[in-house]
Amino acid sequence: MSSCCDMRTELSGKSVLVVGMARSGLGAVEFLARQGAVVVVSDNRPAEALGPEIQLLKESRIDWEAGGHTDKVFSKAELIVVSPGVPLTLPVLQSAREAGIEIISEIELASRYLEGKIIAITGTNGKTTTTTLVGEILKTAGFPVLVGGNIGTPLISLVESSTPQTWSVVEVSSFQLEAVPSFRPHIAVILNLTPDHLDRYASFEAYAEAKFQVFRNQTESDFAVLNQEDPNLRRVADRLRSPVLWFSASREVTRGAYFDGSHIVLKSPDRSESIVARGEVPLKGSHNIENVAAAMVVAHLAGVAPAGIADGIGNFKAVEHRLEPVAEFRGVHFFNDSKATNVDATIKALEAFDSGVILILGGRDKGGNFRVLSPLIRQRVRSLVLLGEASSTIRSQLTGTAPMLQAGNMKDAVRLSFQQAKSGDTVLLAPACASFDMFQNYEHRGRAFKIAVRDLIQGRE
C-alpha cells in the first residue's frame, strides 16, 4: 500500500499560500516551488524577526508578507498549507474556507506525494523517543526507513527520498492533525492523552479529538496501536475501523505487548514471546517501558522479527532533551528533560527518581494545573528553582510543597540548583512549560541548560 496518489494534484502553475515560516512551512515552500507552484508565504511575525527566512524567500523569488495576514493574499490562493503553529480559527482562514479554498496541513501535503508506508506516532508525551526508537529498530533490521515530522525534519522534506519500499516513521502533533482530509498512516499510534495545549484548545476533549484524527482515514487493512492504561484511548477503540493492538506497562493484553514485571512480552492470540528484560532497556523511567512496548508492537506489525526488535532496542541511546544524562559533578547528577513541556511529562520525569531532586520548573504557561505535581514534589524534591513567565503561577499553586528559589536565567538556575544539592542528588530540568518566553524552542532551552552545566563544572558560572 502506498500512501500517495489518490489525492495527488497537479501543482505546476497552481497558486499556493503557505502560512507560517517555521521549519515545516519552509519545507513546504521548497517542495512546492520545485513542483512549479506559484508560492506566496504569509507570517504573523514582524519582518525583523524573520531575517534568514525572508532572505531565503528573496533568493528564491517567492512573494511574502509579514507582520500580519491579509484577506487580499488569502483570497487569491487555490490551496492553503498551514504550519502547525497557526490556529485554524484565524479569521482569514475561516473566510478562505467559506470561499471554498482547500486548507491542509504540511503532513497532509506530504502524504499526497510520499511513497511507501507511513507509521504515525502521536500522544501527549513520549512521541519523540518512540518515533526515534521505531526508526532505530527498523534501520537495525535492514528496512529502508525515513524518520521525520514533528521530531525535527518536516515530512515534506522526506518526499523525494521515499520509494514504494520505504517506511516513513513520523511524529505528529495535534496541531498537524487538524487539517488532514486524506492523511492515512498504515500504522497509527497514540501513546497517551493528558491535558496539554489548553492555551490553544477550548477543552481537553477538543485536544483529544484533534489527536484522534490520526485514525480518521484508516481502513480495515491498517492498524491502530493504543495504550491499554489510558481510559480515553480505551473509549476511542470502538470508534475505529482499523484493528486495534494494545501495549501496557502493568497488565497482560490479548494482542500487542506488555510488561510482566521482568520482561516486555510480545503477545498474539496464540503465542507469547519475551523480547527484552527490564535491565536491557537503555532508558530511565517507567514511562519508557510503555514507549518501548509501543515501539515493539509497531516494529512487529512492520515485519521485524523478535530478534531484530531486541537488537534495535539494545542499540538505542536516550534521545537528546528527554531525560538525557548530562554530567556528574561532585556527586551531583544533572539531567536534561527540556522536552517536558507539560505537567504530565514532568510527573513522568520525577517518577524516574526516588528522592533528592532539585527541580527546575517554569517557562510559558500552557494552561496546565501545576498542583497535581504536589505529591511527587513533597516525596522526591529537595528544592524548586523557578524560571520564566510562569514562576508566579507555579509559586502560588505549589506553595508549601518544597523550598523555592527564583532564577533570572538558565545559568542562574543551574548555579542555584547546584548550591541546594548534596552529593547523590539530581538536578533535573523538567519545566512543565513551553520554552518560548526565553528560548526559541525546547531544544534551545535544553542546550542552554547543558552549556550552563558545563560552565559550572569548568568554573565559569
Q: Is 44 in the active site?
A: no
> Residue 2: its pLDDT value, please?
42
Q: Cell numbers of 458, please?
A: 569548568
pLDDT digits (tens, 9 = 90+) for 86-112: 999 999 999 999 999 999 999 999 999
Q: Which CATH class is domain 324-457?
A: alpha beta
Q: Where are the domains of the chain?
A: 15-100, 108-314, 324-457
pLDDT digits (tens, 9 = 90+) for 432-450: 999 989 998 999 999 999 9
Q: How many angstroms separate the CA atoms of 338 and 333, rounded?
A: 16
> What radius of gyration, in Å, describes the C-alpha atoms of the chain?
23
Q: How many angstroms separate the CA atoms of 244 and 305, rounded?
A: 20
pLDDT digits (tens, 9 = 90+) for 24-39: 999 999 999 999 999 9
Identity of residue 190: I
> Residue 1: its pLDDT value, please?
42
> Residue 438: its pLDDT value, please?
94
- How much is the pTM? 0.77
> Residue 460: its pLDDT value, please?
67
> Residue 47: its pLDDT value, please?
87
Identity of residue 299: A
Q: How many angstroms separate the CA atoms of 337 and 430, rounded?
A: 5
Domain 15-100 superfamily per CATH: NAD(P)-binding Rossmann-like Domain (3.40.50.720)
**Common-topology check for domains 108-314 and 324-457:** no
DSSP letters, 231-260, are: HHHHHHGGG-SS-EEEEESSS--SSEEEE-
pLDDT digits (tens, 9 = 90+) for 398-427: 999 999 999 999 999 999 999 999 999 999
Which residues have C-beta within 8 Å of that of residue 47, sequence separation ≥ 6?
54, 66, 67
Could you say which of 69, 117, 125, 127 is catalytic? 127
Q: Is 288 in the active site?
A: no
pLDDT digits (tens, 9 = 90+) for 218-238: 999 999 999 999 999 999 999
Burial of residue 90 (CB within 10 Å: 0-12, 13-18, 19+) is: middle
Q: Is 186 in the active site?
A: no
The candidate with the shortest Cα–Cα distance to 37, out of 84, 80, 82, 97, is 80
Identity of residue 370: F
Which residues have C-beta within 8 Å of that of residue 408, sequence separation ≥ 6?
none
Three-state SS for 420?
helix
Could you say which of 125, 150, 192, 217 is catalytic? 150
- Read off the pLDDT of each residue in 349-367 and give the average, rounded to a whole number: 93
3 has a pLDDT exceeding 60: no
The candidate with the shortest Cα–Cα distance to 431, out of 399, 459, 407, 400, is 407
Identity of residue 352: A
pLDDT digits (tens, 9 = 90+) for 103-137: 999 999 999 999 999 999 999 988 988 999 999 99
Q: How many angstroms separate the CA atoms of 300 and 1, rounded?
A: 17
Could you say which of 69, 186, 197, 287 is catalytic? 197
5 has a pLDDT exceeding 70: no
CATH fold of 108-314 reads UDP-N-acetylmuramoyl-L-alanine:D-glutamate ligase (3.40.1190)
